[in-house]
Every structure is written in structure tokens, then in C-alpha cells.
Homo-oligomer: A and B are copies of this chain.
Amino acid sequence: MARNITPRADDYSKWYLDVIRAAELADHAPVRGCMVIRPTGYAIWESVQRHFDDAFKRTGHQNAYFPLLIPSSFLEKEAEHVEGFAPECATVTHAGGEKLDEPLIIRPTSETVIGHMYGKWIQSWRDLPVLINQWCNVMRWEKRPRLFLRTSEFLWQEGHTAHATEAEAREETLRMLEVYRQVMEDVLALPVVVGEKTEGERFPGAVNTYSCEAMMSDRRALQAGTSHFLGQNFARAFEIRFQNKDGVMEECWTTSWGVSTRLIGALIMTHSDEDGLILPPRVAPTKVAVIPIGQDGDSLMQAARSVTEQLNSALGGLFCELDTRFHMRPTDRFFYHLQRGVPLRLEIGERDLKAGTVRAVRRDNGDKLNIESDAVAAKVPEILEDVQRSLYERAKTFREDNTFFVSTYDGLKSVIEENGGFVEAFFGGTPEDEVKIREETGATPRCIPLGDDSRGRCVITGKEGKKTIFAKAY
């Protein structure tokens, strides 16, 4: 049934781009490495944003907006930070018709400029904690761009918090990691492993970096979100200080955490199939497409409208779309919504009208079902919940089926080469060992899973190591 979508088995990258094209999610911009997010893709992003934003606000965070341009001297104040980001920076040298005294960097992330402002705003323990998030665009120049996964400009949120104690900052870092896990699993139906990054994979300037790692349907890993405990590194560089209850000046403890439009890439590569996009109902901007079939007449339209209104009321929003493009063949309209990942299609034809039923077709597995017209408002939300659960379970089973424990480096190499997926191994090596593994296998340490304190013989050094997941990654 697929039209113009390359089978995954033939060329996964091409399949991915075909899914994006068929659903009209995004397009390449005229500037190499940048993308245009088209209305269908942007509606998904708005839905993703709303779910995360609600969760941030529930946990006491406020939104704000910090400037796009950062003096290049700011980046240099934190040694590891500049080393990590300088190679990817885009630089403004001229503005208002003049050469600037100091080049300005388009933010690749905002720890520095936000640190500078926190240094001005925070005076006393009474000002703490500061819990701020911003939704914005950032720029990291990409040599090998891929829509949603790696683009020179992308959209994201970055949370930046400042605390009076190390314990509070560590608690915040893990709280936001857990918020990420919940929204990813419960809303995006992305099963993720949460864990700590190894030294070589840490955010430049962080003391500890934690991440959510998801498995795509080609068995590669995708880092879906990160949360960083920054210690006092940025507080030191930007003089973020407060007077404690005893009147003594101390440096703050800070955190940062972010998710980006690459989550749309994760949605595509986790759930979609040979026909195109599949979206979990909770994140789908359109959850149900109602398609009247036959002659554009009063009774048919009345039934279709009634079903649509009942559903929007039952779903608590304009989540049900009535497709009255009678100039298009029904199969073309089916395909339109199919390729856009709409979780459920309701067809109403003359025969259904007489029988007092509608025909429901699930996007995730193609199951068909007749529903009594007056039971639609009760039944459809149940079906959508089942679709949501099924997509999550399918992805989770796939990940479990493709996760392997190895006790030797040879084992790691052969699993990565022959099957791919997540490889669990004990690891206690250095960043140099991580480079060696990447060069020899293509895999990198994704994370040391939280809640698994088992220790064992490192597959590289032979010394004690922590359970670590390795995988080829996006």
C-alpha cells in the first residue's frame, strides 16, 4: 500500500526522509544544514511543547527569554565549555552596517549568558532557588545534517536553575530527568533508559550528565534528552553568588536540562512503518480523522458532523478532523491521514449510515472495527488508549529483544556488528578507551543505567567497572 516510501530494509535513511516528505513534516532550508518545520511537523512540536511545558510548570518552573547573541568572551570563561562548543559556533561579525568590536556567537546553548544574568539577579538565599526555562532556537553548525536529528539550527527548551546547596541542585537534576522520562514514556510512547553519561560523553562544563536513551527501529540509540548537574563551575565563571543565612557569601550550585525538536525524529524512527508516520494518540495533533464516503449529501454530512462533534467533546479539544474533500477519492483521503500518522480513521459510508455504525481503522496495526454511531464517544477514547499502550509496548518489546549482555570486548564487537541494539557491558575505562571503542566498533557508551548498581570486570581494562550500555547512536 505504500506510495513512494522506500522500505526500511532497503535504505533506512531514505525511508526516514520519505516518511518526513510524505507527511510534509519538514523541508530543507536554502541555507545548508538548516530546516523548515512545516505546519504538520510544527503541530507535533506544539503538542510536544505543551506536554513538557505543563510538566515544567507543575514542578515550579517559569519561562523567560534570554538573548540569541552571546559575546564570544563569555564562552571562554568556562574552559571545557568553550572547547566543546567553539567548533560548532556561528559568528556575527557585522551589524548595523559596522564591524563589531567583539564577535558575537549565536547561542549554541545558554549557560553562559544566563549565568551572567543570574550573577546580577541573585543576591541572597531568599532569591533561591531560581527555576527558569526557555523555549528558543539554538545554532550548532553541522557538517552532516539530517532533518530533526542534526540540523544547524534547531528548536528546544533549556532549563537553567540555581540553588543554595549541592543536594538541592542534584535533586533538581534528577527530578527533571524523571519529568523527561515520564513525558517521553507516557505521552510520546518512547521507552527510554535513564542513566548517567560516562566522562567522555559529558556536557562540556558539567560535573554529571544524565540522559534518556531510546532505541530506534534500526536498533540505533537516540539521546532524547539530557539533564546536567553543573556543580559550581558556571557559578564560579559568572560570579553567581548569594549571601547565606549566616551572612556569608557562597557560590550557587546550578543545573541545566534540555529536549529538542530531535524528539520528532525519535517519534518517527520509533513508531512509523512502511506506509509512513505513526503517532501516539496523546501527542498527535489530530487524533481521529472522520471521512464521509459517497455522495456529498445531507444525511451523510449530518452523521459525519455529529460524530466529529461528539468526539471533540469526548476528547476535550479539537482533536478530531472532518475530511470533506469529496473531490478526492476515499482511498486518497485515507492515505493522506495514514501518511500523517493519524492514530484512528473513522469511515462513514451509505451502508454504515443505514446500519447506524461507523467503521474504525487503527493506524498502528490496521485493525478494523464497526462501532455503533451512538457509542463513538465512549468507544473511541478507549481505542486510542489501547493504541497508545500498544505503541509503547511494541517499542519496549523491540528494545528488550535487542538488548544483550556481554562480558567481553569481543562479545561487544560481534553484537554491534551482527545485530546492533543496546549492549550491556561492565566498563570502567577512560575517555581514551571510549574513543578506542568508537573507532573500532562505531558504538559509544550511551549511559550507566540508574538503579543498577551491579559491578563487574571491565571489558577493556579488566578492572572493576559499572554496568554500561553501548550502542551505535544518532
Contacts and interface: CB of A to CB of B under 8 A. Distances in A.
Nearest to A34: B67
A62 B43 CA distance: 8
Given A87-B96, A117-B27, A42 B67 contact: no
Interface string A79-123: 000000011111111111100000110100000010011001100
A384 interface: no
Contacts of A36: 64-67, 117
A153 B69 contact: yes
Interface stretch (A133-141, A394-402, A423-431, A456-464): A133-141
Given A31-B71, A36-B66, A91 B89 contact: no
A91 B88 contact: no
B67 A153 contact: yes
Interface string A20-43: 000000010111001111110111
Task: Indicate how many identical chains form the complex.
Answer: 2
A374 interface: no
Given A30-B116, A31-B71, A63 B43 contact: yes
Given A96-B143, A113-B29, A46 B63 contact: yes
A68 interface: yes
B104 A67 contact: no
A70 interface: yes
B106 A92 contact: yes
Instruction: Count chain B CB atoms within 10 A of each CB in A70, A93, A121 and give the residue with the most.
Output: A93
Q: Is the interface of A mostly helix, strand, loop or mixed?
A: mixed
B65 A42 contact: yes
A74 interface: yes
Given A39-B132, A117-B36, A132-B39, A137 B68 contact: yes
A39 B66 CA distance: 10
- Report the interface size class on chain A: 35 or more
Contacts of A37: 64-65
Instruction: Count chain B CB atoms within 10 A of each CB in A43, A71, A92, A116 and give the residue with the most.
Output: A92
A155 interface: yes
Contacts of A152: 95
A113 to B, nearest CB: 7
Contacts of A155: 65
A53 B281 CA distance: 23
A87 B97 contact: yes
Contacts of A41: 64
B96 A88 contact: yes
Nearest to A117: B36
A19 B139 CA distance: 34
A63 B36 CA distance: 12
Contacts of A96: 87-90, 141-143
Contact of A69 (B31, B45, B74): B31
Nearest to A74: B30
Contacts of A132: 39
Nearest to A106: B92
Nearest to A98: B141
A88 B71 CA distance: 19
Contact of A93 (B67, B68, B91, B116): B91
Contacts of A29: 66-67, 113, 117
Given A29-B113, A89-B95, A93-B91, A139 B68 contact: yes
A30 B113 contact: yes
Interface of A: 27, 29-31, 34-39, 41-43, 45-46, 62-71, 74, 86-97, 103-104, 106, 113, 116-117, 120-121, 132, 136-137, 139, 141-143, 152-153, 155
Chain A to chain B: the 3 pairs with minimum beta-carbon distance, closest first:
A96-B141, A39-B62, A90-B95
10 contacts: A30-B74, A30-B116, A31-B70, A35-B67, A36-B64, A36-B66, A39-B63, A68-B153, A89-B97, A95-B152
